[in-house]
Chains A and B, each alone.
Chain A
Amino acid sequence: MRTWADLDEFQAFLDDGGMVEADDDMPEEYRHEVFRFIEFHANSELMGGLTERDWIPHSPGLRLKQIFLAKTQDEIGHAHLLFMVAADMGVKTRDEMMNDLLAGKTRFHNVFHYRAETWADQIAIAFLVDAAAFASQRAVFAKCTYGPYKRILRRIVGEEGFHMRHGEEMLLKMASGSQVQRDLFQAALERWWWPAVQLFGPDSPPDDPLLKWYIKSERNEVLRHAYVQKYVPLLHGYGFTVPDDGLHQDPDTGEWMMSEIDWAPLKATFSNAGPDSARRLANAVRNHAESAWFRESIGVSA
């Protein structure tokens, strides 16, 4: 077990490219902040699976059903791995994390407080949300100083890359399909564009400890801006309209500039007051309660 005399020595260790392991005597500030970040990530993967599950029964083909099952299984698998990595940090057990999530005491990503209204929403999630998550997670993986998390992220980022490519393939089918399909995706885009952009969060604070400790390698606003530069031209290229009246290209740089972001919808999700938060959590609580007898009988965590 390694130990550090003070935060300055710990910071120097991180600045030199050091990697923290679960059995290290890490500073409590680091332990709690990294734990909170991984718990949030785990919660989000699980609730993301619940967002996607609604349309799997209606998959318009057996192979598509298998593909979307495998994709959602990946998300649940990510949650599983992340909960275990978080539990090893010794802050909360897996059961405590699950109970806190279901009690609304901990958060999950804003996008999973929204409901997939149509099959096209399922595709918008794969194309827009998975891509945003991929960009965000890849940036965490880049310099991540917590070893167990970095090793899990290698797998997560790899799988999310497949999800993103699948989303692109599905979108191409919608874009080159019938008017019904194009209209369906345009409506989904109008529901999911802003939540996807907001997923990166407000601008990072100047003293963000996650940046200082190299859990994040890039500021939120930088990642968000890069996402917009990539996805606006892609969506335009497919013939869709990005739902932002103020969207324009900077005449000097050619960069896509968005309207000012309204952060109120994001903040509402912080207190589980998003459009579908109540239903999603209520369903999760009910399902968890209904199968408690089985978990107890075989002595396992949720």
Chain B
Amino acid sequence: MTLVSIDDGAREYLLALADDEHMMGSHLAWWIGIAPFLEEDLSLCSIAQDELGHAIAVYELLVDDVDHFALRRQPSEYRSCSFVEMALPQWEDTLIRHWLYDVGEQIRWNALVDSSVPELSSIAQRALAEESFHRSHSTLLLRRSLSGSEEARQRLVSSMESLLPQSMTMWSPVTGEVAALAGGVTSLSSSDAETAYSEAVQADLNEWGISLNWAPTSAPHNDRVDRVEGFDEFHASLNLVLDLDPDTEW
């Protein structure tokens, strides 16, 4: 069910959200079978499926052929932020990104609950119900691991130092954000969301007794147009099977 009634700006705004969810879901899915322990394997896989489900739900508002749109666009046509495009094969980095992304995601979905697009509001409410579990999952694991051993604390804090500045690219606005705000599609600008995000992250850090040399900086404005190094290979990997016979149904 595509929404023909929203303008191109709002579409680009929603595309950025859907592409972020798609990238996060795909990167989390990579851990199936190799997460640190079996229970975590099951949990993370469910979260990956949730994020992919969010991506599908929003893509469905934008286009009829979700798979073609999600996978066959040129890299330059994606609007994901660099924070979610990076492959992170180390567990500490995956866990830290999971935490930071879900802090931000909750803020983003909250801003869509009262959207002028009723279908989007409905998706946001469902997503928020799932996100509360995602947030609990990451913070419970972090709280326990940070206090569990010195090695774990060093690894996790080091990862925070590296990824926290990167995470600000979530708030890199697309050009269409102005139209999305004007049309009531969303109620929160990226700059206001960035402030809320920084405060939420700082609250978690305070609770865990972590002091980082980190000052929130404004997100770069072209981040959602540029792709990270290695994205072409990742994109090719997503299309490995489709490329064998692009015109057939798989």
Residues of A within 8 A of B (CB): 46, 49-50, 52-53, 55-66, 69-70, 72-73, 76-77, 79-80, 83, 119, 173, 177-178, 180-181, 184, 283-284, 287, 290-291, 293-302
Contact = CB atoms under 8 A, between A and B. Distances in A.
Contacts of B41: 73, 76, 80
Contacts of B30: 57
B125 interface: no
B241 A49 contact: no
Given A177-B248, A297-B149, A300-B39, A58 B56 contact: no
B200 interface: no
B1 interface: no
29 contacts: A49-B33, A62-B55, A63-B56, A64-B250, A66-B49, A69-B45, A73-B41, A73-B42, A73-B45, A76-B41, A80-B38, A80-B39, A119-B250, A173-B249, A178-B245, A180-B245, A181-B245, A184-B244, A283-B34, A284-B34, A287-B34, A291-B35, A294-B36, A294-B92, A294-B95, A296-B151, A297-B144, A298-B145, A301-B37
A61 B26 CA distance: 11
Interface in B210-248: 237-242, 244-245, 247-248
Q: Interface extent on B, as a size class?
A: 35 or more
A297 to B, nearest CB: 3
A297 B66 contact: no
Contacts of A298: 141, 144-145, 148
A56 B39 contact: no
A62 B22 contact: yes
A297 B248 CA distance: 48
A294 B42 contact: no
Contact of A294 (B26, B152, B237, B238): B152
Given A62-B22, A63-B67, A297-B145, A53 B33 contact: yes
A180 B242 CA distance: 11
Given A62-B22, A180-B244, A293-B151, A77 B237 contact: no
B46 interface: yes
Interface of B: 22, 25-26, 29-30, 32-39, 41-42, 45-46, 48-49, 52-53, 55-56, 59, 66-67, 70-71, 90-92, 95, 141, 144-145, 148-149, 151-152, 155, 237-242, 244-245, 247-250
Nearest to A177: B248
A119 B67 CA distance: 17
Contacts of B35: 291
A29 B216 CA distance: 65
A58 B32 contact: no
* Chain A, interface SS category: helix
Contact of B152 (A61, A173, A297): A297
Contacts of B38: 46, 76, 79-80, 83, 302
A217 B238 CA distance: 44
Given A73-B45, A79-B38, A297-B144, A62 B56 contact: yes
Contacts of A58: 237-241
Given A61-B250, A181-B250, 8 more contacts: A52-B33, A62-B66, A66-B53, A73-B41, A76-B38, A119-B241, A296-B152, A297-B145
B227 to A, nearest CB: 18
Nearest to B26: A57
Contact of A293 (B45, B71, B155): B155
B84 to A, nearest CB: 15
B52 A62 contact: yes
Contact of A296 (B25, B53, B148): B148
A75 to B, nearest CB: 8
